[in-house]
């Protein structure tokens, strides 16, 4: 019985200097073949200039059931946004 190839998550940096962005996943025996497969599966139309592959098992994710307690503390700190502060028009752009 063949063991199934592990799953890798694929991150690609596009043309314009943005961060690597998650694009999907794929199976491969090791990191080198994961990179080759990622090139073939996810960059057939010049979608990227750099690829990261990460074993899916190595990713630690926040739990959806704790979404509330996890992210809500940010909700009541509106002063973190610049629009919280009223600056008089005569001060000019800021």
Partner 1 sequence: MYAQMIKSEATADDPDKLKAFQARIDAGEKIEPKDWMPEGYRKTLIRQIGQHAHSEIVGQLPEGNWITRAPTLERKAILLAKVQDEAGHGLYLYCAAETLGVSRDEMTRMLLDGRMKYSSIFNYPTLTWADMGAVGWLVDGAAIMNQVPLQRTSYGPYARAMIRICKEESFHQRQGFDIMMKMANGTPAQRRMAQDALNRFWYPSLMMFGPSDKDSVHSTQSMRWRIKINTNDELRQKFVDQTVPQAEYLGLTVPDETLAWNEEKGGYDFAEPDWAEFYGVLKGNGPCNTDRIAARQKAWDDGTWVRDGLMAHAAKRKAAKAAAQ
Torsions phi, psi of 88, nearest 5? Answer: -55, 145
Asked if 11 contacts 51 with a C-beta cutoff of 8 angstroms, the reply is: yes
At 5, list the tokens. Answer: 């190839």
Say whether 54 sits in a helix, a strand or coil. Answer: strand
CA gap 67, 63 in Å, rounded = 7
CB of 8 to partner 1, least distance (A): 10
Q: Using CB under 8 A, pick the residue from 13, 20, 33, 55 that binds partner 1.
A: 33
Q: Using CB under 8 A, pick the residue from 18, 57, 61, 74 that binds partner 1.
A: 61
Q: Using CB under 8 A, pick the residue from 15, 18, 45, 91 that binds partner 1.
A: 45
**Site residues (CB under 8 A) for partner 1?**
2-5, 7, 23-30, 33, 40-42, 44-45, 61, 63-65
């Amino acid at each position: 019985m063949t063991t199934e190839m592990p799953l890798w998550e694929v991150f690609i940096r596009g043309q314009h200097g943005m961060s690597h962005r998650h694009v999907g996943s794929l199976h491969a025996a090791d990191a080198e073949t994961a990179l080759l497969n990622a090139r073939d599966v996810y960059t057939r139309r010049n979608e990227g200039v750099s690829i990261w592959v990460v074993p899916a098992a190595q990713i630690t994710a926040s739990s959806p059931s704790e979404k509330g307690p996890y992210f809500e503390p940010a909700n009541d700190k509106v002063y973190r946004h610049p629009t919280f502060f009223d600056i008089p028009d005569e001060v000019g752009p800021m």
